[in-house]
Chains A and B, each alone.
Chain A
Amino acid sequence: MYGIGILKGLGVTLKHFIETYVDDIRWLGKRYYNEEALISRQGTDARGVFTVQYPEEKLITPEEFRYIPFLVYDEGPDGEQLIRCTSCGICSKVCPPQCIWIERSSDPETGRPIPEPTEFFIDIDICMNCGLCAEYCPFDAIKMDHDFELASYDRIKDHIFDRERLLKPASYYASIRPKNYQQEEEIKREKEAAKKAKKSK
């Protein structure tokens, strides 16, 4: 019969249509606005409506997700910020669109450079979120953040992040990238143990 092809196609659409209702009923009203359901709805056996009701529901960003970089500081015992960055400049040299500006100052007495950035700018309009800065930093000082809700009304003032804006604690880093944090802490502990073993010899 002429028209079978169209009917077959419409059958597929009908199946999808009915599936949306079937899946809604299956969850007994708890299909939206809770995380467990969201994970299941985005999994490989998802059926029914695939849409995520943003902004009430947000997709869980995986650990490796990269957006704008941030600088990590360790929290010292008196609450002081121990900035990990030594202003070596590798992130600025490896950045493909060259969006990182680092100002390094020298100690006035000895004339040697201070291992801390006096100023640190990232122009987030230029940043292409490639993650090369975080990948090649030898001190685990700059990492890629997950926060993507950065819209503002004035791009010239708000889109150049300075050092204050970029500094975030290591506890925040551990909360967004737990596995990476653990791996790095382990490597640090092993290095410390190796150094202690060498010293005691």
Chain B
Amino acid sequence: MTEKSTESNPVDEKVKALEAQFSNILEADERKGYSGYLIAADQLLNFATRLRDEFGYDYLSSVTGVDYLPEEKMEVVYHAYRSAGGPALVYKVQVPRDNPVVPSLVSVYPGAEFQEREAWDLLGIRFSDHPDLRRILTWEGFAGHPLRKDWKEPFYQEEKKPFKDRWPEGKVSRIEDTIEFGKNVQYPPSFDPESWTPEVDKLLYAGMTQMEPDADSNGRSLDTDHIVVNFGPQHPSTHGVFRMVLSLDGETIVDLKPVMGYLHRNHEKIGERNTYIMNMPYTDRLDYICSMGNNFGYALAVEKLMGIQPTERAEYIRVMMAELTRVLNHLWAIGFLLNDLGAFFTPALYAINERELILDIFEATAGSRMMCNYFRFGGVARDLPEGILETVRELVHERLPRRTDEIETYLKDNEIVRTRGIDVGILTPENALAFSTAGPVLRASGIPYDVRRADPYSIYDRFDFNVAVRYNGDVYDRYLIRIDEIRESLKILEQVVRDIPDGEIQAVRPQYQVRVPAGEAYGRVENPKGELGFYIVSDGSPTPWRYHVRAPSFINVTAMAEMCRGYKVADAVAVLGSIDIVLGETDR
């Protein structure tokens, strides 16, 4: 079952009550290394609704699909949590692979919308009653479902790495010279460019609420245009290649649809071809601003599968790096939110100034400022160099608190920021939970859910820190909560630097071929942008069977439409800046 503790705690009691109530439709997952429940597709909606209403599992964190080709099944895995805290309730639906149809959970948890679209796009699992089942990460005319086990990419060489032609007969060649078009494209055999007409975004525009061209604009005296504007992928304020399609009435937003996938690299498929240790540098490139945090989540997931614990010193170093990353990220986020609001780059550069000092620490320790590749299974890769702890102490005790105060006085009382931030883009607490938002977005709306407190991982239960919460849920609160979180991180860092022990940094001898037993694991961390989760299914071979990333930026954007309706176009920029997305994570 989900918990193996022998003492009875309230969560166990509830789980037992749950199993008793649903014993006729729930079936425990008996596969080796797996946990959770299997449920039939037709019972899913009923079960999920009752779980949310009666048992308090009101936060659906992750919806993902798995392709079990040998057993001819597709499986959809749900991780549900209670906003009061506690471990996950994992339930799964299995459907036949040649016609996978699962009822959609969007009516129960609206936050499942984008994740179900992703399962449709990448795996071909159809969700009945989904309001808008279109492809999300690939373009609308894409042929095939990339994450299926029988789909091969254009640069395909072998099923799993390492490839045999690299050694011992290392005849170098560029893959572009050996494939059909010389580029990363492939076309289905039936494709005829002469007869193909692009139906660009027809379904997208059809699904948007638009006002009729001649509709009465609420009797206003201004004769406003009703148009659809593409806040294009190329835009300086969209924090990356991100597109929003806005349906406008004058300047007021009637409907908003985010379109993503311009940076989709099929990270999850690459992850299935890589061995476990090879995946570590790839995780750096997900949320490329918080690379240490991504490494942390992945290391946690694989360590759960392997059943090993890192050493004491490594745990302290990990927490130190994670909290430094949080400071890093929030400085960047604040800087760029203020940039979006119009303070062109001065506050951003002041914030990035402080960031540089932290990046120098990363460079001296891990070898690289951004793509750190520092965590290993059982510890960290290298020990801290001499003098680094002193630098961290100086930063944490003196420089960063001063600069945080300075950034706060800089623009907190600024009238322009207040007018553009207060009561703009409000996200109510109920919506925040329902849309599965996580991180500062959730906590600025009044729900004090922080994975470090709700479901502690690593050694966070030893540190004394508060969970930052704000109650208005607008852009201004999301700006202020990031400053609060920087202060909390500095508190944790003071304790880490005070208590860090000496010792070994790796629990197991470093091996380049890691053997991971079969099973599944979900490792989640509180990344600065939200809850980052890694769902890994292992079949005992050197490479993962399924590797899924629960990306906070991807899921936080589900709430964009709700936050922007009724506000002006310029507010959409402010709201997007306050959600703080990074495209590497949104698109993977």
Contact = CB atoms under 8 A, between A and B. Distances in A.
A128 B281 contact: yes
A94 B346 CA distance: 43
Contact of A131 (B161, B367, B412): B367
Interface stretch (A21-29, A57-65, A71-79, A184-192): A57-65
A9 B162 contact: no
A194 interface: no
A5 interface: yes
Nearest to A144: B367
A65 B168 contact: no
Contact of B166 (A65, A102, A160): A102
Contact of B174 (A90, A95, A156): A156
B194 interface: no
B341 interface: no
Nearest to A134: B367
Given A6-B415, A44-B391, A98-B163, A66 B172 contact: no
Contacts of B350: 16
Contacts of B414: 5-6, 8-9
A94 B166 contact: no
B162 A92 contact: yes
Given A129-B371, A144-B367, A101 B166 contact: yes
Interface stretch (B303-311, B356-364, B422-430, B440-448): B356-364
A4 B357 contact: no
Given A6-B414, A12-B406, A104 B167 contact: yes
A136 interface: yes
Contact of A92 (B170, B360, B382, B391): B170
B143 to A, nearest CB: 26
Nearest to A5: B413
A44 B399 contact: yes
A128 B411 CA distance: 39
B277 interface: yes
B536 interface: no
B282 interface: yes
Given A65-B367, A65-B368, A101 B167 contact: yes
B352 to A, nearest CB: 9
Output the residue of A130, A135, A156 with the most chain B CB within 10 A: A130
Interface stretch (A30-38, A117-125, A165-173): A117-125
A8 B413 contact: yes
B281 A132 contact: yes
B167 A129 contact: no
Interface string A159-201: 0100000000000000000010000000000000000000000
A119 B166 CA distance: 11
Q: Interface extent on A, as a size class?
A: 35 or more
B278 A89 contact: no
A96 B274 contact: yes
B234 interface: no
A111 interface: no
A135 B170 contact: no
Contacts of A42: 356-357, 360
> Counting chain A CB atoms within 10 Å of each CB, which of B168, B365, B391, B394 scores highest?
B168
Contacts of A123: 172, 174
A51 to B, nearest CB: 10
Contacts of B356: 42, 50
Contacts of A90: 512
A82 to B, nearest CB: 21
A46 B350 CA distance: 13
Nearest to B373: A130
A44 B413 contact: no
A45 interface: yes
Given A102-B166, A130-B281, A12 B367 contact: no
Contacts of A2: 415
Interface string A5-19: 110110011001000
Interface in B331-380: 346, 350, 353, 356-357, 360, 363-368, 371, 373
Given A89-B167, A89-B168, A64 B371 contact: no
A68 interface: no
Contacts of A61: 363
Contacts of A46: 357
B169 interface: yes
Nearest to B360: A42
B418 interface: yes
Interface string B146-163: 000000000000000111
A170 B544 CA distance: 38
A113 B167 CA distance: 13
A72 B409 CA distance: 53
A61 to B, nearest CB: 8
A3 interface: yes
A98 B410 contact: no
Contacts of B168: 87, 89, 102-104, 113
A66 B167 contact: no
B395 interface: yes
Given A6-B416, A102-B167, A64 B512 contact: no
A160 B282 CA distance: 22
A141 interface: no
Interface string B204-220: 00000000000000000
B171 interface: yes
A101 B413 contact: no
Contacts of B411: 5, 9
Contacts of A136: 510, 512
A103 B406 contact: no
A13 B166 contact: no
Given A12-B410, A129-B368, A92 B167 contact: yes
A44 B357 contact: yes
A59 to B, nearest CB: 9
A166 to B, nearest CB: 12
**Best-buried of A89, A101, A104 by chain B (most CB within 10 Å):** A101
9 contacts: A5-B412, A65-B363, A87-B167, A92-B170, A94-B278, A95-B278, A100-B166, A135-B381, A136-B512
Closest 5 CB pairs of A and B: A101-B170, A5-B413, A130-B281, A89-B167, A121-B172
Given A62-B360, A101-B172, A136-B512, 10 more contacts: A6-B416, A61-B363, A62-B364, A92-B167, A93-B166, A93-B167, A93-B512, A96-B161, A101-B165, A132-B281
